[in-house]
Chain A
Amino acid sequence: MDCAPIPSGSYSDFSKRLHRNIAEKHIPIGGGIDLTSRCNLKCVHCYIKDKPKNELSYDEVIRILDELAEAGCLWLLITGGEPLSRKDFKDIYIYAKKKGFIITLFTNATLITEELADTFAELPPMAVEVSLYGATPETYEKVTRIKGSHERCLQGIEMLLQRGTSVRLKSMILTLNYHELEDMMKYATDRGVEFRYDANIHGRLDHTGNTSGYRLSPEQIVALDMVDKRRIKALREFVEYSLKQNMDHEYLFHCGAGLDSFHIGSDGKLYLCIMVRERSYDLRQGSFAAGWNEFIPGVRNEKADKDYTCSKCGLFFLCGQCPGWGEVEQGDRMKPSEFLCKLAHLRAAAFEKEELWTGC
């Protein structure tokens, strides 16, 4: 017998060890929940449709959080919609913190108040990730379509930073704002805050509306890649990671979704991930444990059709293609997104030309 509540290394070491230890145990170590599908902004590219009528009640959210903790969920992503648009957000957040979740919050920051910023200072999340849609009010509000939202976003960010809350900035780069990418990066750098961007916007998850008109072309995205050393490094790391995976192409899914992660919609539906929403388990009708143990493996273990083209593609390791994209863009999990396909081929050619594969 030995008693040792011993400091066992850094957060990074701990995270790696825990993921390694639970790898074969089908424990839902990380997952996300849309607290709402409502939002105070009306972003042109948003993939969520406002469906306020089906929103989980406070009691339902609390019951689900209890079940997630019981099942072993440690890392919890709170997102939406705009989660802060729920009147009971603060109560839910405090409950989740006291339950021992390590929380990341996705928000547009426009609804941050002094009171809420104080709560985050007292009970800190691992990070508040704020979406920034432009460096100027004109551009930002062309995306959000709400006057005054840029100023409120910056005020929210400043309130968090003044209290030492861990903030990360990110942007969806669109035809409307890509000319301000550098300025957004500078804004983040000036504040000592991490910044990342994504240009791969996809349509609405429920297939209503088309946002692809705001999407940069694959050529524009590759041009952005090639002038950004950090971007190149991240892509190389993604390729190196993909190459190390023992991918069984008999199956459709190759990521961690459903193995150690999940997503829950604002109406209480449990999904394999944030994108794959055609099949769901209703947490209003059954427990999370039942959904995780009985429903999720069935979705996760779907086999790929023999003619699933991505299985045979030599660029699979570089491509962000996944069944979720197929479902959203083509209405078919096994049909690749043509946009991602073209992007992968252009990236491969650009990397080849610049000899950036060396060492991969």
Chain B
Amino acid sequence: MELGKKYEQSGDMVWRKIGDETILVPVNQEFSNINSVFTLNETAAFIWSLIDGEKTLAEIRDALVSEYEVEPDKAEQDLVMCISQFEEMQGIREAS
């Protein structure tokens, strides 16, 4: 995955933080009928909050390194997995 890419939230999923739970609520699907409810752990929620169509993946990786004090390789690995899953659930798309 190219780290120069930028992603934006698609608007098809709404991020909601309720108590300790962070979930993505689909807007164009009936919630109780979807196969799975997507809950985000702390890292995924952090990444989601940085996806704004402006920041590159490299910038998000650097933010992860700074926030969680991890090695850049590990941060990149987690970021790539996360982006791929967000894309799969149609929560984000590549910014034009």
Q: Does B86 contact A (CB under 8 A)?
A: yes
* Interchain CB contact under 8 A, A100 and B11: no
Interface stretch, picked from A17-25, A33-41, A150-158, A297-305, is: A17-25
Contacts A2-B78, A5-B40, A126-B32; A97 near B27 (Cβ below 8 A): yes
A100: B residues at CB distance < 8 A? 14-16, 25, 27
Contact with B along A1-45 (1 / 0, CB 8 A): 111111111111010011001100101010000000000000000
B35: A residues at CB distance < 8 A? 7, 10
* Number of A-B residue pairs at CB separation under 8 A: 109
* Interchain CB contact under 8 A, A1 and B36: no
B44: A residues at CB distance < 8 A? 3-5
* Interchain CB contact under 8 A, B79 and A3: yes
Cα A166 to Cα B82 with chains together (Å) = 32
CB distance from B14 to the nearest CB of A (A): 3
Contacts A5-B24, A7-B37, A8-B39; A29 near B18 (Cβ below 8 A): yes
Please, which residue of chain B has its CB at the minimum distance from the CB of A29?
B18
Cα A34 to Cα B23 with chains together (Å) = 27
* Interchain CB contact under 8 A, A11 and B34: yes
Cα A123 to Cα B34 with chains together (Å) = 13
Q: Does A326 contact B (CB under 8 A)?
A: no
Consensus secondary structure, chain A interface: loop
Contact of B19 among A4, A10, A21, A166 (CB under 8 A): A21
Cα A72 to Cα B86 with chains together (Å) = 23
Please, which residue of chain B has its CB at the minimum distance from the CB of A164?
B30
Please, which residue of chain A has its CB at the minimum distance from the CB of B70?
A1
* Interchain CB contact under 8 A, A25 and B19: yes
Contact with A along B35-72 (1 / 0, CB 8 A): 11111110110011000000000000000100010100
* Interchain CB contact under 8 A, A1 and B75: yes
CB distance from B74 to the nearest CB of A (A): 7
CB distance from B3 to the nearest CB of A (A): 15
Cα A69 to Cα B68 with chains together (Å) = 28
Q: Does A74 contact B (CB under 8 A)?
A: yes
* Interchain CB contact under 8 A, B86 and A126: no
Q: Does B28 contact A (CB under 8 A)?
A: yes
* Interchain CB contact under 8 A, A8 and B43: no
* Interchain CB contact under 8 A, B37 and A122: no
Other A-B contacts than A3-B81, A74-B18, A100-B27, 8 sampled, CB-CB below 8 A, are: A3-B44, A3-B79, A7-B35, A27-B19, A29-B18, A102-B32, A122-B28, A166-B32
Provide a sorted-by-A list of 15 A–B residue pairs whose CB atoms are within 8 angstroms: A5-B24, A6-B38, A7-B35, A10-B37, A11-B37, A12-B32, A14-B39, A18-B19, A18-B21, A72-B19, A74-B25, A101-B25, A102-B25, A123-B28, A166-B32
Which residues of B approach A to under 8 Å, CB–CB? 11, 14-21, 23-25, 27-41, 43-44, 47-48, 64, 68, 70, 74-75, 78-79, 81-82, 85-86, 89, 91
Chain A to chain B: the 8 pairs with minimum beta-carbon distance, closest first: A7-B36, A100-B14, A3-B82, A124-B30, A14-B37, A3-B78, A100-B25, A5-B44
